[in-house]
Structure 1
Amino acid sequence: MEEQIIRTEYSDLMQKSYIDYAMSVIIARALPDVRDGLKPVQRRTLYDMYELGIRYDRPYRKCARIVGDTMGKYHPHGDSSIYEALVVMSQDFKKGMPLVDGHGNFGSIEGDGAAAMRYTEARLQKVTQETFLADLDKDVVDFVPNFDETEKEPSVLPVRLPNLLVNGSDGIAVGMATSIPPHNLGEVIDAAKAYLKNPEISTEKLLELMPGPDFPTGGIIVNKDELPAIYESGTGKIKIRGKVKVEKLKGGREQLVITEIPYPMIGANIAKFLNDVAGLVESKKAPEITDISNQSSKEGIRIVLELKKGADTENLKNMLYKKTRLEDTFGVNMLAVADGKPETLSIRQILEHYIEFQYELTTRKYRTLLTKEQEKREIQEGLIKACEVIDLIIEILRGSKNIKDAKACLTVGVTDGIRFKSEAAKKRAARLRFTERQAQAILEMRLYRLIGLEIQALMEENQKTLKNIAEYEDILENHSSMTRVILREMDAIKKAYARSRRTAIENAEAIIYEEKKIEEMPVMFLMDRFGYAKTIDMSVYDRNKEAADNENKYVFSCMNTGKICIFTDTGKQHTVKVQELPFGKFRDKGVPIDNFGNFSSSEEQIVGIGSMEALKHQKLLFGTRQGMLKIVDGTEFETKMRTMAATKLNEGDELLRVTVTDGTEQVVLQSRDGYFLRFDVSEIPEKKKGAAGVRGMRLAEKDALEAIHLYHTGQEESVEYKDKQLVLNKLKAGSRDTKGVKVRV
């Protein structure tokens, strides 16, 4: 075949290819179908379990077998997505109604992952088998080829309940995402019945029957009045609070016990909640909390906060709602695949698609049943008629040379080649007109069917078949009859599987939390050379002044309501609230300072620390490894940002020191090669924080500053240099931007 070159616009080709890819992800991977409420991976996994015979009343099978079979036959997108879908369908804390019965470690509400698929086992839940897969043998849905056209799979499962609402769904596609909350099965069926009886019913009336989401984790929905607008548009935000109760303890003390959590908190967010509460205690915002313990188990959530005697429990509850994820938001976006395309649906549209699907399923089911009953009636009528002329039929069979001749005689009356005892029998045989199916049944009939009781049973069975045919024809021909059937099935599902509501829905008042004002007082900030920081009372410092100054690298006073400015070698300024630092005894170890800032001590080295309140009234000297110097007014570092750039650095340069100066000191620059340069600080110009500064010392190509010393004229200052003391005052005075003097010891 001759090769052809197709010329096309590159942008057009990319656009078409990306759209094809996006639609593939949207339709075939990420979004559920509005009819059965399942994503393709969920549908294929359940169908594969059905095909493998892993029913609710049979033994569990290894999940690895289920995953492998599903991937090999229907879903060639990797085993992790299949196993993850299988795990989620078994987790009762994620699904309103689990579809898979898992055996083994299938994860926990606290975010623990499931065991590897080679260890866990699973089987279908009874509800899945009876309401999702029961009618697959009745031609109720279309079957389509799988990815390599070696198998057939259902395009949709014949789900009898509104699964999209009952179990909800979440998924991220390309340029769109779905987030549908789970609902109560009984309530959703009541709403579906109401819509079936009156398609013009309003959203408000539907919400009287189905008030809103019913999360498996319980909790309290607090914006009830906003729900009609959310269900009308298909988008919005639902506010959920955890349930907190107060338990009395001995000695007049109390404790707060969290028994239900917001649905978005499941997983790692439980640990984050505990850390947030611990942070509130450490920052003195919740000093009444003496202990935090997570006593949750398979029985349910139980997080206990022990309180001091006389604690204001109501204010503490409000603080938890305000400052932690105990009150959270569930973003609703009811996006699903409807009629082959993604669409954001209202509650009425979802119920409309569900009801239409039920009519389609019921129609196809009863057509199949009617066809089977009509075939059965045909055979029954043939056998009854055969019993009336059984002697003639026996004579035909005995006189025939083969089955073909006998069948031709029974169906069209051909008597050629058949021996008859009399001419009258031959004439009667020529008048026989059994159908092909009846003739086959007569040929396969056993002699015991000629017993009187068997003939009677056959006639009774025929009467039952005729009754079924009449019933099925009535269902298919009369819309009201089919509606009664659908309603009857809904009632049966509700009776078998409905449970009581878990999530309360109300209109709660906005949280009012009065944060206790901290009594403003001065404290001493201490940080040792290992980076462990703390604050202590001024009187404690006065009693231990010598030890505090000797043992710590940074010591200064600040207000307990103020902020600490931390300058690092990367030229950044990090801000930490003094309240966040531990306040305690002099001998307390403290906490690493980088625990409170947006930096890591392994990546950034601290080159200067000070109180923001004090710095804004002072001038700061900045010096870098490459010898760049400048003076900056402290007001430029007054900020609400946790991290910002404190200075501009040249490529490859590092900030070496940041220190307070009054402009009258002597500065000594010390290089790695042993050069020292002493000059007045007044020679360094004042610049903005965004400036790189001026050159303080002429350095050799591979030389760099090792230290910057500052001292007042008239006081003797010495530093250790090559294991000996070097008196800085005795160094020859020079000028900025010179080489300095080489010191040899």
Structure 2
Amino acid sequence: MEDRIIRTEYSDIMQKSFIDYAMSVIVARALPDIRDGLKPVQRRTLYDMYELGIRYDRPYRKSARIVGDTMGKYHPHGDSSIYDCLVVMTQDFKKIVPLVDGHGNFGNIEGDGAAAMRYTEARLSKLTQENFLEDLDKNVVDFVPNFDETEREPSVLPVKIPNFLINGSEGIAVGMATSTPPHNLAEVIDAEIAYIQNDSLTTKDLMKYIKGPDFPTGGVVINKDELLNIYETGTGKIRIRGKVETEKGKNGHINLVITEIPYTMIGMGIGKFMADVAELAEKKITNDIIDISNQSSKEGIRIVIELKKDTDVDNFTNLLYKKTKLEDTFGVNMLAIDNGRPETMSLKDIMRACADFQFEIATRKYTTLLKKEQEKKEIQEGLIKACNVIDLVIEVLRGSKDRAMAKNCLVNGVTDGINFKSRESKAMAAQLLFTEVQADAILEMRLYKLIGLELEALIKDHEQTVANIYRYEDILESHESMSMVIQDELGKIKKEYQAKRKTVIDNRENAVYEEKPVEEIDVAFIMDRFGYAKTIDATTYERNKETIQAEFKYSFVMKNTGKICLFTSAGNLHTIKAMDLPQGKMRDKGVPIDNVSNYNASDETVILVASQSELNLYRLIFTTKSSMMKTVDGGEFDVSKRTVAATKLTDGDELVNVEVLKEQKTVILRTEDGYFLRFPVDTIPEKKKTAVGVRGMRLGKNDFVRDVYYLNDLEEKTVEHNNKKLELAHLKITSRDTKGTKVRI
């Protein structure tokens, strides 16, 4: 066959291919169907368990068996997705009504994962078996070929309850995501019954039954007034808080006990919450915390925070709401597949879709049952008629040469070839005229059916069949009758599976935390040459000042409410709150400075460390490697951001020196090639921190400023140069922006 070259626009092909891919992910993987509230992987897993006979009243089967069979028959997308789905359907802390009964380690609320599938076992829950899968044999839903067309699977399960709302759903597709909170089963069923009775009900009317979400973890929804808009639009944010109680602790302390957590904290969120609470104490945001412990067990959540005696509990609780995930938001986007299309649905839309589906499966169910009852009625009437003329029927059977001859006589009255005892029998046989179905039933009838009691039972069964036909026809012909049947069924499900609401729905004020004023005291900041920093008591510093200045690279006294400023070679200014540093003893190690700031030791070097309060009183002199210099008012560095640019650098340049200008009179620049230049400090102009500055010294090719020194009047300072001592005060004072002198000693 000759190759065919199709010329087309590349962008058109890409667009079509991406749309096809996106719709495949949306419909076949990520989003639930509004009718049964299940994603394809959930639907296939439950159906496979049903097919394998893993029922709620039978023994558990290995999860690996379920996963392997589901993957081989229906869901060829990897075992991990199927097992993850199976695990979630067993977890009562994620599903308000678990669909699978798990046996073994299926993970816990604190984020520990499930055991491998070869260790765990599962079976269908009773609710799932009776209300998700029970009517599959009654032609209530369409069956479609599986991925390789070797099996058939239901396109949707005949779920009798609005599962999309009850268990909620989360999924990320291409360009869209679904996030529906779980709801109380009894409330949802009540709302569904109310809608079936009156489909003109508004979302506001339906919310008289559905108060709001009902999370398996409990908690408190605090924005009740916003829920109506969320359920009318299908989108919004639900604010939830954990449940907090107080108890008397040891030694008069107060125990704050968290007994319920926000739904969003499931998993590693509990560990993160405890770390956040510990951080509040470490950063001295609060001094009320003595200890925190997780005492959760099978009985439920119990996180205990031990507080000091005089703690303002309400204020501290508000702090937890503000600074931790004890108060969080659940983003709602009730997106589902409706009539083959992804739609964001309101509460009424969901009720409408679920009610329509109930009527659809009820219609198909009772149509199938009616057909079966009509077939049964035909057979029963034939058997009763045959019993009334049993002698004649036996005469036909005995006189026939084969089954076909006997059946032809029973159905069509053809008596040719059949031996009868009399002409009367032959004439009567010609008038039997059974249907083909009745004739087959008569030919297969056993002799015990001729017993009197059996005949009576047959007549009673026929009466029941006639009553069933009348009932099914009434259900199919009367919308009101079908509506009553659906409502009765929903009522029975509610009665058997209803549970008390776990989540409180309320309006609560925003958490307001009033910070206690910090007592302002003097502390000493000290930092060694390895970058470990801390603060110590100011009196301790004064007593050991000479030792500290000898052992530590930077040290100064400041207020505990102040900030430390780090100027680096990259031209950055990093600020650190003194309260973010640990306060300890002189011999304590401290913390690495890059742990409490944005400073990165691998990319930059610390040039100067000073307190912000000191900088506000003076100017600073900046000197770069390329000899650019300027003075800047220290007030410009009183910033709120943790990191800002302290100066402007040209490409390839870096800061060599930053000095606080106090009583210095002259500055000496020293280059790598051994040139020295001494000139007055007051010849350096004052600029803004965003300026590059002016040239301090003319440099030779490939030469650069290596060191910067400052002198006061009559001050002597010695540096080592060419392995000899050089008195800087002996250098001649010249002008800025000259080459300087090469010193040879």
Match of 1:664 in 2: 665
CA offset digits 1:375-396 (Å, max 9, x no partner): 1112222222222233333333
The one-letter code sitting in structure 2 at the alignment partner of 1:318 is N
Match of 2:728 in 1: 729
Contact 1:668 1:710 in 2 (8 A): no
Alignment CA distance shift 1:14-1:394 (3 Å)? same
Q: CA deviation at 1:513?
A: 2.3
Which TM-score applies when normalising by structure 2? 0.92
Q: What secondary structure, in the 3-state scheme, does the structure 2 residue paired with 1:84 have? A: helix
Contact 1:285 1:516 in 2 (8 A): no
Contact 1:629 1:696 in 2 (8 A): no
Alignment CA distance shift 1:275-1:398 (3 Å)? same
- The alignment status of 1:582 with 2:558, answered yes or no, reads no
Q: CA deviation at 1:704?
A: 7.0
Give me the whole-angstrom Cα distance separating, in 1, the residues matched to 2:496 and 2:727: 91
1:382-461 equivalent positions in 2, closer than 5 A: 382-461=382-461
Q: What secondary structure, in the 3-state scheme, does the structure 1 residue paired with 2:383 have? A: helix
Give me the whole-angstrom Cα distance separating, in 1, the residues matched to 2:657 and 2:478: 90
Match of 1:34 in 2: 34
Match of 2:51 in 1: 51
Contact 2:100 2:125 in 1 (8 A): yes
Number of residues of Structure 1 aligned to a counterpart in Structure 2: 740
Contact 1:31 1:178 in 2 (8 A): yes
Alignment CA distance shift 1:38-1:726 (3 Å)? farther
The one-letter code sitting in structure 2 at the alignment partner of 1:278 is A
Give me the whole-angstrom Cα distance separating, in 2, the residues matched to 1:397 and 1:360: 46
Give me the whole-angstrom Cα distance separating, in 2, the residues matched to 1:551 and 1:323: 39
Match of 1:130 in 2: 130
The one-letter code sitting in structure 2 at the alignment partner of 1:528 is D
Q: CA deviation at 1:652?
A: 5.5
Q: What secondary structure, in the 3-state scheme, does the structure 2 residue paired with 1:336 have? A: strand
Contact 1:716 1:727 in 2 (8 A): no
Greater mean alpha carbon deviation, residues 181-190 or residues 96-105: 96-105
Alignment CA distance shift 1:478-1:729 (3 Å)? same
CA offset digits 1:155-175 (Å, max 9, x no partner): 111111111111111222222
Contact 2:624 2:657 in 1 (8 A): yes
CA offset digits 1:8-58 (Å, max 9, x no partner): 333333333322222222222222211111122222222222222222222
Q: What secondary structure, in the 3-state scheme, does the structure 2 residue paired with 1:178 have? A: strand
Q: What secondary structure, in the 3-state scheme, does the structure 2 residue paired with 1:366 have? A: helix
Match of 2:264 in 1: 264
The one-letter code sitting in structure 2 at the alignment partner of 1:309 is K
Contact 1:699 1:739 in 2 (8 A): no
CA offset digits 1:668-708 (Å, max 9, x no partner): 4464xx7464544747665544455658674765x877665
Alignment CA distance shift 1:530-1:297 (3 Å)? farther
Alignment CA distance shift 1:721-1:501 (3 Å)? farther
CA offset digits 1:128-184 (Å, max 9, x no partner): 111111111111111122223222221111111111111111222222222211111
Alignment CA distance shift 1:80-1:634 (3 Å)? farther
The one-letter code sitting in structure 2 at the alignment partner of 1:110 is E
Q: What secondary structure, in the 3-state scheme, does the structure 2 residue paired with 1:34 have? A: coil
Alignment CA distance shift 1:314-1:427 (3 Å)? same
Match of 2:161 in 1: 161
Q: CA deviation at 1:643?
A: 2.6
Match of 2:23 in 1: 23
Q: What secondary structure, in the 3-state scheme, does the structure 1 residue paired with 2:188 have? A: helix
Contact 2:677 2:740 in 1 (8 A): no
Contact 1:676 1:743 in 2 (8 A): no
The one-letter code sitting in structure 2 at the alignment partner of 1:461 is D
Contact 2:249 2:306 in 1 (8 A): no
Contact 2:668 2:677 in 1 (8 A): yes
Alignment CA distance shift 1:743-1:135 (3 Å)? farther
The one-letter code sitting in structure 1 at the alignment partner of 2:665 is T
Give me the whole-angstrom Cα distance separating, in 1, the residues matched to 2:512 and 2:294: 26
Alignment CA distance shift 1:392-1:222 (3 Å)? same
Q: What secondary structure, in the 3-state scheme, does the structure 2 residue paired with 1:209 have? A: coil
Contact 1:219 1:503 in 2 (8 A): yes
Give me the whole-angstrom Cα distance separating, in 1, the residues matched to 2:658 and 2:118: 58
Alignment CA distance shift 1:409-1:627 (3 Å)? farther
The one-letter code sitting in structure 2 at the alignment partner of 1:512 is V
Greater mean alpha carbon deviation, residues 155-164 or residues 606-615: 606-615
The one-letter code sitting in structure 2 at the alignment partner of 1:60 is Y
Match of 2:186 in 1: 186
Match of 2:611 in 1: 611
The one-letter code sitting in structure 2 at the alignment partner of 1:254 is I
CA offset digits 1:298-341 (Å, max 9, x no partner): 22111111111222212211221222221212222222222221
Match of 2:228 in 1: 228
Match of 2:562 in 1: 562
Match of 2:141 in 1: 141
Q: CA deviation at 1:185?
A: 0.6
Which segments of 5 or more consecutive residues in structure 2 lack a partner in the other structure?
none
Q: CA deviation at 1:503?
A: 0.8
Give me the whole-angstrom Cα distance separating, in 2, the residues matched to 1:554 and 1:21: 61
Match of 1:151 in 2: 151
Q: What secondary structure, in the 3-state scheme, does the structure 2 residue paired with 1:24 have? A: helix
1:448-597 equivalent positions in 2, closer than 5 A: 448-597=448-597
Greater mean alpha carbon deviation, residues 198-207 or residues 182-191: 198-207
Greater mean alpha carbon deviation, residues 497-506 or residues 11-20: 11-20
Alignment CA distance shift 1:700-1:452 (3 Å)? farther
Q: CA deviation at 1:619?
A: 3.6
Give me the whole-angstrom Cα distance separating, in 2, the residues matched to 1:402 and 1:623: 119
Match of 1:83 in 2: 83
Q: CA deviation at 1:277?
A: 1.5
The one-letter code sitting in structure 2 at the alignment partner of 1:342 is P
Q: CA deviation at 1:64?
A: 2.7
Match of 2:12 in 1: 12
Alignment CA distance shift 1:55-1:567 (3 Å)? farther
Q: What secondary structure, in the 3-state scheme, does the structure 2 residue paired with 1:258 have? A: strand
Contact 2:669 2:705 in 1 (8 A): no
Give me the whole-angstrom Cα distance separating, in 1, the residues matched to 2:580 and 2:322: 18
CA offset digits 1:370-415 (Å, max 9, x no partner): 1111111122222222222333333333333332222222222233
Alignment CA distance shift 1:742-1:727 (3 Å)? closer
Q: CA deviation at 1:127?
A: 1.1
Give me the whole-angstrom Cα distance separating, in 2, the residues matched to 1:726 and 1:397: 136
The one-letter code sitting in structure 2 at the alignment partner of 1:88 is V
Which TM-score applies when normalising by structure 1? 0.92
Alignment CA distance shift 1:271-1:698 (3 Å)? farther
Contact 1:669 1:697 in 2 (8 A): no
Give me the whole-angstrom Cα distance separating, in 2, the residues matched to 1:182 and 1:318: 27
Give me the whole-angstrom Cα distance separating, in 2, the residues matched to 1:253 and 1:426: 106
Give me the whole-angstrom Cα distance separating, in 2, the residues matched to 1:441 and 1:280: 83
Q: CA deviation at 1:446?
A: 2.0
Q: What is the alpha-carbon root mean square deviation over aligned residues?
A: 2.8
Give me the whole-angstrom Cα distance separating, in 2, the residues matched to 1:626 and 1:126: 80
Q: CA deviation at 1:254?
A: 1.4
The one-letter code sitting in structure 1 at the alignment partner of 2:477 is E
CA offset digits 1:56-105 (Å, max 9, x no partner): 22222232332232223222333332222222222211111111222233
Match of 2:171 in 1: 171
Give me the whole-angstrom Cα distance separating, in 2, the residues matched to 1:700 and 1:60: 83
Contact 2:697 2:740 in 1 (8 A): no
Give me the whole-angstrom Cα distance separating, in 1, the residues matched to 2:437 and 2:175: 57
Alignment CA distance shift 1:402-1:666 (3 Å)? same
Contact 2:107 2:115 in 1 (8 A): yes
Give me the whole-angstrom Cα distance separating, in 2, the residues matched to 1:424 and 1:164: 69
The one-letter code sitting in structure 2 at the alignment partner of 1:54 is I
- The alignment status of 1:318 with 2:318, answered yes or no, reads yes
Match of 1:206 in 2: 206
Identical columns (%): 61
The one-letter code sitting in structure 2 at the alignment partner of 1:537 is D
Contact 1:668 1:728 in 2 (8 A): no
The one-letter code sitting in structure 1 at the alignment partner of 2:353 is H
Q: What secondary structure, in the 3-state scheme, does the structure 1 residue paired with 2:90 have? A: coil
Give me the whole-angstrom Cα distance separating, in 1, the residues matched to 2:706 and 2:42: 64
Give me the whole-angstrom Cα distance separating, in 1, the residues matched to 2:403 and 2:680: 122
Give me the whole-angstrom Cα distance separating, in 2, the residues matched to 1:76 and 1:697: 73
